[in-house]
Amino acid sequence: MNELIKIKDMSDRYDISARTLRYYEHMGLITSARSDDYAYRLYDESAVKRLEQILILRKLNISIRDIRRIFSAAGSQIVLEVLSKKVSDIDDEVALLHELKEVILEFIGQIKAADFSSDGDVKLLYEKAKDIETHLTNVDYIGKPANVGRLLAAAEKVEREPDVLVVEMPPCRMVTSGFIHGNPEKDEKSRRFGEMWNRLAERIADKIHDRSFMYHDREHNKMVWLFMLEDWMTEADTEGFEIITFAGGLYADALADSEELSEWDRIYKGIKAWLARQEHLELDEGSGRYELFTCPGPYPPMREWNLGKIRYFVPIKVKEGH
């Protein structure tokens, strides 16, 4: 196969969105080419083969982070390590789900025998629930210490709607990267912004609250990094990168398991479902504010400490008349 394939044809052939293809490219997993007389992404044979490998690994529920490790390593050692860890994770989940099933069956039996019009029976069920919680806290799963949190982690894989908080972000100054590739290993501007960002992060007094964010500029299909400045920071500290005024405002805040596009979509749908049940709040779609994601930093140790968790902020507002 010598001809280049258009992004739409790639999307149709493998039944994935063009947005996902662009995301894979943004993460450095595949590359595209563009000719002088053609504005859209084009993919060669090597990109097609790489995409097929990505899709196989994603079908096995391998994370983007681990796929990047696999592709950056020579030989099969890393892929075997990742797959072995996946098998171990599945064993843990199966054990947790079996325990969850036993708990639910036990409650079914208790509920069938109980009379909910009787205060005494309801109290007995409450006491039984406390006993089961104590039991789960002391159970070992496959030789590993266990607690209720691990059981709930398994249950969350069935019920995926995120917990949502409403937060008000203050107006402030932020330094912006402008449009970037997002991969410091491949983009000089990303590397310089990341180094500047880490230097500032080491000097800030407030190390509790999130200060680093990213967003996707839909009009230009580009990523932008932001870092919230403290009052003492000046243009000299931001090393030539632009300082902007961030408007702040109300946001619906939820925790995402990863920075993968499918996870962002899940969180966004969950927030919309949550907002649909709210009497006073709605999406703020006309203000030009972007959805924000916390960003742990492009360099270790910040990224390693993140453990794959990011916060997702969707702009919202109070409904008119409330």
For residue 213, the domain's CATH number is 3.20.80.10
Task: Identify the pLDDT of residue 284.
Answer: 93
DSSP designation for 171: P
Cα torsion 96, 159, 89, 106 to 10°: value is 10
Residues 104 and 219 in one domain: no
Mean pLDDT in residue range 257-267: 74
Same domain, 208 and 314: yes
% of the chain with per-residue pLDDT over 70: 75
Q: Count of domains in the chain?
A: 3
Q: 211: left (phi > 0), else alpha (psi -120 to 50), else beta?
A: alpha
Together in a domain, 169 and 312: yes
Q: What is the CA radius of gyration of the chain?
A: 24
Which pLDDT value is given to residue 304?
46
- Whether this model's pTM surpasses 0.85: no
Task: Answer whether residue 191 shows pLDDT above 50.
Answer: yes
* Least confident residue range of 43-47, 55-59, 153-157, 271-275: 153-157
Q: Is 179 helix (H, G, I), strand (E, B) or coil?
A: strand
Residue 167's pLDDT band, with cuts at 50, 70 and 90, is very high
Each residue's pLDDT tens digit, 284-305: 988 889 999 887 665 544 444 4
Split at pLDDT 50, 70, 90, the class of 159 is very low
Looking at the structure, tell me whether residues 105 and 245 fall in a common domain: no
Residue 116 pLDDT level (bands cut at 50, 70, 90): low
- DSSP character for 173? E
Mean pLDDT confidence for 238-254:
94
Angstrom distance (rounded) from CA 193 to CA 195: 5
Q: Cα dist. 234→170, 198, 279 in Å?
A: 19, 16, 42
pLDDT for 240: 93
- 179 and 277 in a single domain? The answer is yes
CATH number at residue 51: 1.10.1660.10
Judge if 136 and 178 occupy the same domain. Answer: no
Q: Please check whether residues 125 and 225 belong to one and the same domain.
A: no
Residue numbers of the domain that contains 147: 77-156
State yes or no: pLDDT of 38 exceeds 50: yes
Same-domain pairing of 169 and 313: yes
